[in-house]
Structure 1
Amino acid sequence: MTTNSPQTRTTTFAVFSTIAAFTIWGLSPVYFKQVAHVSPTEVLAHRVIWSFLLLALVAYVQKEMPVVHQLLKDRKTLLTLTVTAVIIGLNWLVYIWSITNNHIVDASLGYYLNPIVNVLLGMIFLKEKLSPMQKLALLLASAGVAWQVISLGRLPAVSLILAVSFGFYGLIRKRIAAPAVPGLLLETMIMIPLGLGWLLWLAVQGNSAFVLTDFSTCGWLVLAGVITSAPLLLFTSAAPKLRLTTIGFIQYLAPTLALMLGVLMYGEPFGHNLQISFGFIWAALLVFSSEAVLKAKAK
C-alpha cells in the first residue's frame, strides 16, 4: 500500500477530523466564557434547542430521518434515550457551570478520569475482568482523587460528576442500536419541552438574556448548537475508520487544552497539591494507554 493510496488518505483525513473534534471540545471553555453572564440553565436550554434544530437538518440532509422514525416507534429504545438524555443534560449543565464559575481545571480532571471510569463501569456492570495493568491504573487514579480529598479537604465533585455521568452515558448508549446523530437528535428532542418551558418562564419573568436588542448575546447563544454538534459530527464520521488506540490517545487532547486554558489564559490555581493529584491521574492514563498499545501490537 503506497503512502498516497485511497486508504491512507482516508485514514489521514479521519485522524485530522478526530483531532479537530477534540480540539473544539478542548477549546469550548472559550465559548462558554462568552456567555458567563447568562445563567447555566438558560445556556443549557439554548444548547438543547439550537442543537436539536441543527441535528434535525443534518439528519435530513444525510437521509437519516427514517432511522429517527424507526427509533421513535421502539418504546424500549425511546425509554433508554430518555434516561441518556437526563444523564447528558446533567453532564452539560455541570460542565457549563464549571466553566462559568472558574472550575475549568476541575472539568479537565473529570475528562482525564473518564477512561478509568469506563473501565470501572465495565467491571461492575458488564462483568469485564481487569488486567493487572488496568488494576494498577485504577489504583493510581483512586490515589489521585484521594489526594485531593486529604490535601484540599474536599471531594472533587465537579470532576467526579463529569466523569461518572459521561461514563454512564456511554455505557447505556452502547446497549441500544442508535447511531450518533439520530440518537442525539432524539435526546435533544426529549429535552426540548423543558428547554422551551424554562426559556418561556424566564421571558415572562423578564429575566431572559435572549433579548433581540443584545445581538452579541443572542449570537453566542445560537452558536451553542454548532459548538455541540460540529465536533460530534466530525468525530462520528471519523471514528469508524480509526483504531480505538488511536482515538484513545487523541481524546486526551481535549482535557489537556482545557487545562492549559484554565491555568494559562484564565489564571485558575494549579498549586502543588493539584499537581500531585493530576500526576497520579496522568500516571494512571500512561499505564492504561501503554497496555492498549501493547494489545494492539499483539493483534
Structure 2
Amino acid sequence: MTMLDTICKGGLGHALAAHAVWGSMPLYLLLVHDVPPLEFVAWRILVSVPLCLALITLTGRWAELRQVLADGRAMLVLLVTSAMIAGNWFLYVWAIQTGHVFAASLGYYILPLMMMLFGMAFLGERLRPRQWIAVGLAAIGVTVLASGALTTLWVSLAMALSFGIYGLLRKKVAAGPLAGLTVETLLLMLPSALVVGWFATQADGSVMGRDAVETGAIILGGPMTALPLLLFATAVRRMPYTVLGFLQFISPTVVFLLGLFVFHEPLRPAQLACFVAIWAAAALFCWDMLANARTRTVG
C-alpha cells in the first residue's frame, strides 16, 4: 500500500471533495439571491429527500435505513444533528444575503479550532508537536480576523458551534453516512413543508416556478446539499476529528479567494494576515500528516 493510499483510505479524499463543493457555494448562491433564506433552506431539504431515497434504493441500503429508524438512541441523536445542520444552513444563507459575508467566512475559520477542541475534549484525540504548532499559527490568524468583526461575532460563533456539534455527533451515532443523512432529511421534511406552504400563502407566493433559472437552481440545492454532507459524513467516520477539523480551513479559504478574484472585494490587512498564518499552519500540518503516513507505510 502506498503512502497516498494510506491517506486517502483514511477519508482525506472525501473531506477534500466536500470542501471543494462547500467552497464554491457563494457562486451557487448568486443564482438564488432573491429567495428568502428560510424558504430556500426549506426547499433544499425537500428536494434532498427524494435524492436520498433514490440513493438508498440504488445502493440497496433499505435494511440499514430501517435499522436506524428502529434505533431510538440513534433517532434522538439524528434529531439533534438535523436541527444543527438546518440552523447552520439558515445562518449561512442569511449572512450571505444580508451582506454579512465576513461573518460567515469567520464562522468557518473558527470552526476548525472548535472541531479540534471537541476531538480532544470528547474523543480523547491528541495532537503531535508539529500539529500543535500549526494549531497555534492558525489560532493567531483567526484571532486577528475576529478582532475586526466583534459586532457580528455571535453569527460566526453560532455557525461554528452548530456545525461542530453536528460533526461530533455524526462521528458517534450508529448510522452510516447515507442512512443518517436520509433520516435527517426525513425528520426535517414536515417543518420544511410547513415553511414552504406558509410562503405560498403570502402575497409574493412561492419562489418555486417563479423563474426557470431560479427554479432550476433551487432544485440543484438537493445535490449541493446531499453530496458534500455524504462526503463529510464518510470522512468523519474514517478520520480523527482533530485532523478533519484542520481541513475545515479549506472551504473558507476558497471563499476568501472567490471574494478576492471573482467578487473583487477589497483585501483587508487582517484578512491577509489571517490567510498567511493559516496557510503556513496548513503547510506544517500537511507535512506532519505526510511524514506520519510515510512512517506507517514503511513500518
Please say whether Structure 1 and Structure 2 have the same fold, judged by a TM-score greater than 0.5.
Answer: yes
Deviations 1:127-178 (A, max 9, x none): 4344433433333333233323444554644443333322221111111121
Residues 98/263 of structure 1: CA separation in 2 closer, same or farther (3 Å cut): farther
1:88 aligns with 2:89: no
1:198 maps to which residue? 195
Any conservation in 1 of the 2:134–2:282 contact (CA below 8 Å)? yes
In structure 1, how many angstroms separate the alpha carbons of the residues matched to 2:233 and 2:158? 24
RMSD over aligned CA atoms reads 3.5
Deviations 1:170-207 (A, max 9, x none): 11111112111110111011111111111111112234
Deviations 1:214-239 (A, max 9, x none): 33322221221121123445677899
2:256 maps to which residue? 259
Q: CA deviation at 1:55?
A: 0.7
Q: CA deviation at 1:40?
A: 0.8
Letter in 1 for 2:68: L
Residues 248/149 of structure 1: CA separation in 2 closer, same or farther (3 Å cut): closer
1:294 aligns with 2:291: yes
% same residue:
34
Q: Which structure 2 residues correspond to residues 200-279 of structure 1 after superposition, within 5 A? A: 200-232=197-229, 253-279=250-276
Letter in 2 for 1:120: L
Structure 2 alignment gaps of length 5 or more: none
Q: CA deviation at 1:99?
A: 2.8
Any conservation in 1 of the 2:111–2:245 contact (CA below 8 Å)? no
In structure 1, how many angstroms separate the alpha carbons of the residues matched to 2:14 and 2:89? 23
Q: CA deviation at 1:274?
A: 2.1
Residues 243/173 of structure 1: CA separation in 2 closer, same or farther (3 Å cut): closer
Of 175, 178, 194 in structure 1, the residue corresponding to residue 175 of structure 2 is 178
Q: Which stretch shows the higher mean deviation, 267-276 or 77-86?
A: 267-276
Q: Which stretch shows the higher mean deviation, 190-199 or 219-228?
A: 219-228
In structure 1, how many angstroms separate the alpha carbons of the residues matched to 2:139 and 2:235? 32
In structure 1, how many angstroms separate the alpha carbons of the residues matched to 2:16 and 2:73? 34
Of 64, 67, 84 in structure 1, the residue corresponding to residue 64 of structure 2 is 67
In structure 1, how many angstroms separate the alpha carbons of the residues matched to 2:245 and 2:146? 28
In structure 2, how many angstroms separate the alpha carbons of the residues matched to 1:172 and 1:243? 14
Q: CA deviation at 1:49?
A: 0.5
Letter in 2 for 1:223: L
Letter in 2 for 1:177: A
Q: CA deviation at 1:61?
A: 1.4
Any conservation in 1 of the 2:119–2:242 contact (CA below 8 Å)? no
Q: CA deviation at 1:46?
A: 0.4
Residues 19/132 of structure 1: CA separation in 2 closer, same or farther (3 Å cut): closer
Residues 298/16 of structure 1: CA separation in 2 closer, same or farther (3 Å cut): closer
Q: Which stretch shows the higher mean deviation, 28-37 or 141-150?
A: 141-150
The TM-score, its normalising length taken from structure 1, stands at 0.81
Residues 113/44 of structure 1: CA separation in 2 closer, same or farther (3 Å cut): same
1:32 aligns with 2:29: yes
In structure 2, how many angstroms separate the alpha carbons of the residues matched to 1:238 and 1:137? 21
Structure 1 alignment gaps of length 5 or more: none
1:140 aligns with 2:140: no
